[in-house]
Amino acid sequence: MSSIFSLSMNLTSSPMLGDIAYFILWGMLFPLLAMVSFNFLRHKQCCYEEKRKVPPGEMGFPLIGETMEFFNAQRRNQLFEKFVHPRVVKHGKVFKTRIMGSPTVIVNGAEANKFLLSNEFKLVKSSWPSSSVQLMGSDSIMEKDGERHRFLRGVIGTSLGYVGLEPLVPRLCNSVIFHLAKHWQGQEKISLYRSTKVLTFSIVFECLLGINVEPGMLDIFERVLEGVFSPAIMCPGTKFWRAKKARMEIEKMLVKVVREKRKEIEGGLQREQDGMLLSKLICGMIQGEISEKEVIDNVVLLVFAAHDTTSFAVAMTFKMLAKHPDCYGKVLQEHVAIRRNKRWGENLTLEDIKKMKYTWQVARETMRLFPPIFGSFRKAITDIEYEGFTIPKGWKVLWTTYGTHFNEEYFKDPMSFNPSRFDEGMPQYAFVPFGGGPRVCAGYQLAKLNILIFVHYVVTQYEWFLLHPDESITMDPLPFPSFGMPIKIFPKHT
């Protein structure tokens, strides 16, 4: 897997005003704050650490800590090689650092993942940057804890869990067929990453929520997503400022959709429940269990959670298929066999999906090597005792997929691409591209269907070739192929 280690800088995006503001922020504000609080913090820190054994590691400069090292490694998609791995070698699997002003403990390994992820709400809670919270909305499920979290997950889960899947399959088939007819047919060259983004967006809206996608909607949503990890600086020209404006536009649009739908349901115009997630949320609203803001914030969150993640997983799956012709041959065989038993144009069923066993192994192996989300931050809500160390209350904790995915303790010859390794079981919490515990990905089943159904229609209908076989990956902070993964396509004559 040399490609993971030979990734270059992002050459596609030029520095924007937002980035400049960002450097000014880190360059000027923090040293200033640092000077003011240096003595105070150092004093407090020493006394605390004398009493408790916090994990080993370096905190860097006050406040700014190792933020620059972290971001520089992340930008080049070398967070593992340049940041996490060297520190694991030096300090062990549990080490401390300071990122974005917060003392942070980074934990690695299946036991650590399990400990952290399954103790959500008890020892830790999710911890998102202020920009994410402001843009997703404070009432999205990522900001909810305990009972309220469980309730909203329940509502969302009825559409996204296993029972909701049966009707989703033909709808997804329809979306994929429509997408290929509209965006692939008659073309010679397309951006695969762009294509999957457009598709994933319409799948979330049309197949899951039951909202029609209007022209321009994707652009507005993407403007919001661009601000999710930018510093929350509210002055004209920054990414965050643009994102905030886009969020207001979306809110206006969604409020209109929600109120119209509510009228339809209340007026009995929509006699048969359509079974779509938006209708379920609105029924909750009518019964007084869910607020309008909760509905809107969760719609925005679902788009965010599904968008870049699924698109990256699909794009990298195709990249791996291109790089491993033997795997591609086996995948193709699987899908041709499914098609053989079908009439022309007949939709797939859940039974057909179950036959895509090897394709799902390929997709999982791809996500092992190229996790769309490398890990996520939590905050200690109490002093945590772990592996003989204390993680003090208020510190952040970061679990990573790298700690297990790239470790030969869990995956033999970890850097090689070998989908068949999933024939055998593996330790719990070793393969964690979808997280785990109470906050395990709510869209796991939808992501799986999206990937498998898209692969099915593409490999049975098209020949395709990567135009940049050695394309690098950029992280900003989610990973994407630097050039959008352009491919050449030819329709198959069958």
Ligand X SMILES: *[C@@H]1O[C@H](CO)[C@@H](O)[C@H](O)[C@H]1NC(C)=O
Of 449 and 466, which CB lies nearer to ligand HEM in the complex structure? 449
Q: Which residue's entry shows tokens 């772990």?
A: 386
Q: Residue 72 interacts with ligand X (CB under 6 A)?
A: no
Of 174 and 460, which CB lies nearer to ligand X in the complex structure? 174
Residues 327-346 that bind ligand X (CB under 6 A): 345-346
Residues 397-436 that bind ligand HEM (CB under 6 A): 433-435
The whole-angstrom separation of Cα 444 and Cα 439 is 11
The CB-side HSE value for 285 (13 A sphere, CA atoms) comes to: 20
Q: Residue 174 interacts with ligand X (CB under 6 A)?
A: yes
Burial of residue 321 (CB within 10 Å: 0-12, 13-18, 19+) is: buried
From the CB of 173, what's the least distance to ligand X, in Å? 6
| Structure tokens, 79 | 């967070």
Residues 112-171 that bind ligand X (CB under 6 A): 170-171
From the CB of 55, what's the least distance to ligand HEM, in Å? 21
- Binding marks (x or -) toward ligand HEM, 350..379, rule CB under 6 A? ----------------------xx--x---
Count, residues near ligand X per rule CB under 6 A: 7
From the CB of 458, what's the least distance to ligand X, in Å? 18
Of 17 and 177, which CB lies nearer to ligand X in the complex structure? 177
**Residue 327, annotated as binding a ligand:** no
- Binding marks (x or -) toward ligand HEM, 434..473, rule CB under 6 A? xx---x-xxx--xx--------------------------
Residue 126 touches which member of ligand X, ligand HEM, none, C-beta under 5-8 Å by kind: ligand HEM
Write out the DSSP string of 197-216.
HHHHHHIIIIIII--PPPTT
| Structure tokens, 121 | 């709400």
Yes or no: say if 371 and 404 are a contact pair by the CB < 8 Å rule: no
The whole-angstrom separation of Cα 333 and Cα 350 is 19
The CB-side HSE value for 16 (13 A sphere, CA atoms) comes to: 13
Residue 170 touches which member of ligand HEM, ligand X, none, C-beta under 5-8 Å by kind: ligand X
From the CB of 307, what's the least distance to ligand HEM, in Å? 8
Write out the DSSP string of 110-173.
HHHHHHHHHTBTTTEEE---HHHHHHH-TTSGGG--HHHHHHHHHHHHHHHSGGGHHHHHHHHH
Q: Residue 159 interacts with ligand HEM (CB under 6 A)?
A: no
Residue 446 touches which member of ligand HEM, ligand X, none, C-beta under 5-8 Å by kind: ligand HEM
Count of CB atoms situated within 10 Å of the CB of 375: 21
Q: Which residues are annotated as a binding site?
A: 441
Q: Which residues are annotated as a binding site for heme?
A: 441
